[in-house]
A = this chain, B = another copy of it.
Amino acid sequence: MVSMGAGQKTKATFDEWANFNTVSFRKDAEKDFLQFKTDKNTEWGLWFQIESAPWIIASLVGMLTALSGAFIEHVVDYFGNARFGTLWGDCDGPFPKGVTKEQCETGYYDGGADGWWRKYMGYIAVTTILSFVSAMMTFKFAPMARGSGIPEIKCILGGFTMPQVLDVNTLVIKILGLGLSVGAGLSCGKEGPLVHIACCWCSVICNCTARYSKNEGKKRELLSCACAAGVAVAFGAPLGGVLFSLEEASTYFPMKTMIKAFTGGAVAAWTLEVCHTDPKTGVGYLTMFNANYPVGPALLEYIFFIIIGILGGCMGALFVHYNIRIAKGRAPGSPWRKKVHIALEVAMIAFITGITAYPLLWTRVISNSAIRAMFHNCANVPSTGVDPHTFMLDLCDPNDPSQPNLSMNICWLLIASAVIRYVQMTFTFGCGAPSGLFIPSLYAGAALGRVVGIFLWIFNASCEGGCIAPQIYPGVYSMMGAAACLGGVCRVTISLVVIMFELTNGLQLIVPFMIVCILAKYTGDVFTPGIYDYCITIRKYPFLHEPDDVLFHTKASDLIDDDLEMLTPNLGTVFDFKNFVENAKYGGYPVVQSLEDPVFLGYMFTEQVKDYLRLQCKNNVMINSSTRILIGRYVKELPAGSFDLTADPEVNLVDESIITVTMETPAAMVHRIFRMLGNKVIVVKQGAFVAGLITKKSFIRHMEQLHSAADHDQPAETKKEPEKKNRRASTLKAAC
């Protein structure tokens, strides 16, 4: 009944992926259509229910994500202030002259000569404890809530199922833990993880519906929308969200889904704005980074944008390089991990973060405030209800708050704070607490960009009317630096430009942002892959990366496994077959005429057959364990008393429409089929005969092997060639 292949060696390496099932978008779309189709004859109520479901879920996810975001912000605010002593009454006053309660609570006031040490110790203690709690909570209740979650989301959207990533407890722990770790002042942001939170909400809601809980393919369409909502909440950038989902997260993102994502993002942004509405003035805001620059840059300034873009790419690549080395060093099972518990490690990072962060104003306060100040124009500080010094964190001239502070001292301090945050984030990203890297990347870039801006301001002022431009805005350079650094780390381009554009509201800066982001991406790509792609690789997640050159050198015949198991129409007794199916190694098997003459007939998915068989064994009195099972469709005559697996026309157990390719099909085509058609398995045929299978997982594995061979310049393929040739020749002989 079953032919066992030659070796088990290919199989062994697959075991680590055993938890991840592949989703067949193709089959799921068909399933959904058959169950939930609407046409002219559909009853109105049912029609509305079916058609509106994705819109409602997308909107609901947007709303819940925005509320989660607002909640996290409150938690961050509360604990962020706690670090400065609000918990034990350090900011209850009285204050020294010129210090306000707000300055004390937000960390602008460092305690003065008297209180400095006490506040410093308190800061370190709160940071360490909160981070430890966050990490411990994550470790105990939802290990998948750690990190940013974006690599996992990418794999899920790429068409794999990953256990626990989208569970309720991951959701709860991620929200709480994120509030704690960001509030603790760890060098991390809540922006990336909000994407994960949005996807968790989406999955939780989907699991409550009959339609989406059972259909992984359709669920992924909504998850793509959730991604957009996550970014919309993170940056107040609904369009940026849709484009992030398109560019970075989703593998398959048709226009219909995009419009829903758009709606989800809009609802999220709207909810967030309502949450942020000042009850007194009725004015809401979407993001605290808002900075308005009405005048476009001069021609000569583009030269500096180009330099910033290239440097940002280098900085990003350097971060990726070291972060990955650290990640390897502390991977589960490594000597370091055996010695140090994951939560303890977080506490250690937090302790050092606390020590290094407090002395400098911009690393002491919450990162978002520092970034906001760096992005802003001193001449353009909101006039109502804010103290310009606190708002701009001393970045403006102490005597004239409408002019930037141009002292050398400020430059050194900015550089120092950028370096501190950069090093902190290299250790923090990927640690045991929920943590994202958008904010620290923006931070490091913004600080260095501002320094460039200050230097240019000084140089520009040395000529009458400006050497470079009529006016230099250090805030613009800060934003460019931030975009360059984040672009270098994540290698996103279009979505980052849109996000920055939505943050700054300025059409004038769109072309500079484009230049910076594209240069950062391409410069970074010279050295390392993007951080998320690299994480996917070292965490050994299955993921179909962007196509590249290797694909053109390889053919389908090089991609098939030696190990091929096939079924024939005669499946043996119920007992045997049930046993086989229950312990099946693979998710599906091709059905062939006979093992000697393997004419391809169809493909059977194990899961489906298992369910059907269980049901039949329970309900069908005609069969017992010794009944013979056959695929009636392919046998000329059914023996009396045998059971036809395909007798029920409603249940289609043998899929005849599976995609087939020939031995000569280039791997580029196979890649495109997996990526674009979203199927799970491809049958490789030689004439009418089955020559092998390529599953999405085995394809990814093969691609990885080819890449690592190419990297090490080993002629891996050439070595294998003679053996392959023989195999192909013999198959050909058999086929003719």
Contacts and interface: CB of A to CB of B under 8 A. Distances in A.
A704 interface: no
Contacts of A556: 657
Contact of A296 (B30, B39, B284): B284
B666 A518 contact: no
A295 B283 contact: yes
B687 A599 contact: yes
B664 A656 contact: yes
Contacts of A546: 255-256
Interface string A585-615: 0000000000000011000000000000000
B498 A239 contact: yes
A666 B672 CA distance: 19
A565 interface: no
Contacts of A417: none
A501 B295 CA distance: 17
A15 interface: no
B238 A494 contact: no
A144 to B, nearest CB: 28
Contacts of A637: none
B656 A242 contact: no
A396 to B, nearest CB: 22
A39 B553 CA distance: 12
Contacts of A298: 282
A515 B657 CA distance: 40
A495 to B, nearest CB: 10
Nearest to A521: B259
Contacts of A666: 30, 657
Contact of A511 (B269, B494, B668, B672): B269
A510 interface: yes
Interface string A520-560: 01000000000000000000000000100100100010000
A663 to B, nearest CB: 8
A239 B269 contact: no
A687 B290 CA distance: 63
Nearest to A599: B687
A259 B493 contact: yes
A688 B262 contact: no
Interface in A484-504: 493-494, 497-498, 501-502
Nearest to A247: B255
Contact of A239 (B30, B497, B663, B689): B497
Nearest to A286: B507
Contacts of A514: 238, 262-263, 266
Contacts of A515: 266
Contacts of A103: none
Nearest to A497: B239
A39 B677 CA distance: 29
Nearest to A676: B676
Contacts of A507: 236, 286, 290, 502, 505
Contacts of A677: 669, 672-673, 676-677
A370 B518 CA distance: 37
Contact of A657 (B238, B669, B687): B669
Interface string A654-679: 00111111111110110011001100
Contacts of A669: 26, 657, 659, 677
A33 B671 CA distance: 15
B659 A661 contact: yes
Nearest to A503: B507
Nearest to A505: B507
A470 interface: yes
A37 interface: yes
A676 B254 CA distance: 11
A471 to B, nearest CB: 11
A29 interface: yes
Contacts of A239: 494, 497-498, 501, 510
Contacts of A665: 656-657
Chain B CB within 10 Å, residue with most, of A238, A498, A510, A600: A510
A270 interface: yes
Contacts of A296: 273, 283-284
Contacts of A656: 662-665
Contacts of A510: 238-239, 266, 269, 502
Interface string A257-300: 01100110010011001100000001110100010000110110
Contact of A259 (B270, B518, B689): B518
A506 interface: yes
B599 A688 contact: yes
A236 B286 CA distance: 25
A589 to B, nearest CB: 17
Nearest to A258: B494
A657 B661 contact: yes
A733 to B, nearest CB: 13
A273 B494 CA distance: 21
A617 B664 CA distance: 29
17 contacts: A30-B552, A238-B511, A239-B498, A255-B546, A259-B518, A262-B493, A283-B295, A290-B507, A556-B657, A656-B662, A656-B665, A657-B662, A659-B669, A660-B662, A660-B685, A672-B676, A688-B689
Given A259-B493, A282-B470, 8 more contacts: A239-B498, A263-B518, A269-B511, A502-B510, A657-B662, A657-B664, A672-B676, A676-B677
